[in-house]
Amino acid sequence: MAVNVAIVGATGAVGQEFLNILAERNFPIKTLKLLASARSAGKTIDYRSQTYTVEELTHDSFKDIQIALFSAGGATTKEFAPSAVKAGAVVVDNSSAYRMKDGIPLVVPEVNPEAIKKHVGIIANPNCSTIIMNVPVWPLHQVNRVRRLVVSTYQAVSGAGAWGLYELEQQMKSHAAGEPIKKELFPHQIVNNLFSHNTTIGPEGYNEEEMKMVKETRKIFGDSKIMIAATCVRVPIPRAHCESINIEFSQPMTPDRVRQILSKAPGVKLVDRIEENHFPMPLEASGQDLVLVGRIRQDISRDDGRGIEMFVAGDQIRKGAATNAVQIAEKLL
């Protein structure tokens, strides 16, 4: 069944990726409306041999729209998503605006697709780092309940938007030319450097990105008892986030059993070639929807056999944002 689709934030990095993925997956579109801010209205975008003119986002933009894919800031979503729902559309929102709101499903299709049925007009797309962790951890959790997660992230600059990529490129050019390096939007120099994720630190000492991973994972898994500690770091990599994950299971777990489970898990690709020292890398994760998993090994700091270490890489623009949202839209159909 073909449906009428609107993309909010169509000119942004994730908005553009929406279009790529909709085309790749042959999503059945009857009519397509591209929406953005007033400054982007009038631009043209090609999609499947047809040229579309970007329209200004207004409260009247959603007449006859059935699915609205939002890739805008939280303030924009809060303002316009209710208008889309009122017009009869189902909103799949990529911002953090509704993720932790009671009654709004927060969905990773490989984990909790059944939650989609509970929507009342809005479905939230989780944070990119949460998605990339949840896809490989969930199938393990189903077999042997996870008690505790300790995760450290290595997050690409494009996770901050197109400007993050631009700033890295400009600083790389300045460094190569021996010129002074200018900081514009990141709080610190990013080329030849890394720093704690540039979100506000709360009273408990964790930044917003870290707390998203904690709270969102508990909601998606439907398990408020999972203990989670996260450290999120911005690194000078253009695209694809990596994560080092330490897992404590309820019962003993072996690396071979983890590999066996993950080899059959949806959305996961094992990259665990020990003899070649070849494990997940952002370069290889970029441009694909699978989360790469490797460095699977026993946690030798404990003697009860319940600890596993692993390293993952995932494209935060695709699976961490646009692909996950399109998968939700597919489930809606």
Which residues are known catalytic residues? 128, 241
Phi, psi of 40 (to 5 degrees): -100, -10
Strand-pair partners of 314:
241
Per the listing, tokens 């982007």 go with: 40
| Tokens, residue 77 | 């979503």
Closest to 120 measured CA to CA, from 106, 107, 105: 105
Q: How far apart are CA 81 and CA 66, in angstroms?
A: 13
Q: Please name the residues in contact with 144: beta carbons below 8 A apart, sequence gap of 6 or more.
A: 249, 250, 251, 253
Q: Please name the residues in contact with 184: beta carbons below 8 A apart, sequence gap of 6 or more.
A: 163, 167, 170
Phi, psi of 214 (to 5 degrees): -70, -55
Per the listing, tokens 């998503």 go with: 81
Residue 212 corresponds to which amino acid? K
Strand-pair partners of 144:
none
Per the listing, tokens 């930044």 go with: 207
The CA distances from residue 79 to 6, 18, 98, 230, in Å, are 16, 21, 12, 31
Give the burial class of 258: count Cβ atoms within 10 A of its Cβ; 0-12 exposed, 13-18 middle, 19 or more buried. buried
Q: How far apart are CA 53 and CA 32, in angstroms?
A: 10
Q: Do β-strands 55-56 and 29-36 pair in parallel, antiparallel, or remain unpaired?
A: parallel
